[in-house]
Amino acid sequence: MTYQVACLESDLEPADVMQVTLNGVDLAIARDSDGSWHAIDDLCTHGNVSLSDGDVEDGGIECWKHGSVFDLKTGRPRQLPAIHPVAVYPTKLESGSVWVDVDSPIH
């Protein structure tokens, strides 16, 4: 596993998301409404739009274009029109930074 700094903990409030690129992988770094951190592929599998422009709440991120919601832990879509999951990556918090391992997707 090769973790890299994606952002600082102070960069996002709960229920917020930002786009970062690590090793050529575009990620949506999301801080859920409960304060937990997640890293998923930034591209919606249905509409090819950035998920980091969507809303984060209750363990999911909603694609702003067509309303599909992806589970932040599994990457699976919770509602149509998306039917294919997005990749999810391991995250950890250390020394005030959010670290992501883009070399070892979980799902």
**Tell me, what's the pLDDT at 87?**
97
- Containing structural domain, residue 29: 4-100
Q: Tokens for 94? A: 């250390």
**69 part of a folded domain:** yes
pLDDT tens-digit map of 19-36: 999 999 999 999 999 999
**107 part of a folded domain:** no
> What total of structural domains would you count in the chain?
1
Residue 1, pLDDT above cutoff 70: no
pTM of the model: 0.94
**11 part of a folded domain:** yes
| Closest by Cα among 54, 87, 93 to 73 | 87
Output phi, psi for 16, to 5 deg. Answer: -130, 165
Q: Tokens for 31? A: 């801080």
pLDDT tens-digit map of 42-88: 999 998 899 999 999 999 999 989 999 999 999 999 989 999 999 99
**41 part of a folded domain:** yes
Q: Strand order of the sheet with strand 37-41?
A: 16-22, 25-31, 37-41, 88-89
**31 part of a folded domain:** yes
Domain CATH number, residue 80? 2.102.10.10
**105 part of a folded domain:** no
**91 part of a folded domain:** yes
**24 part of a folded domain:** yes
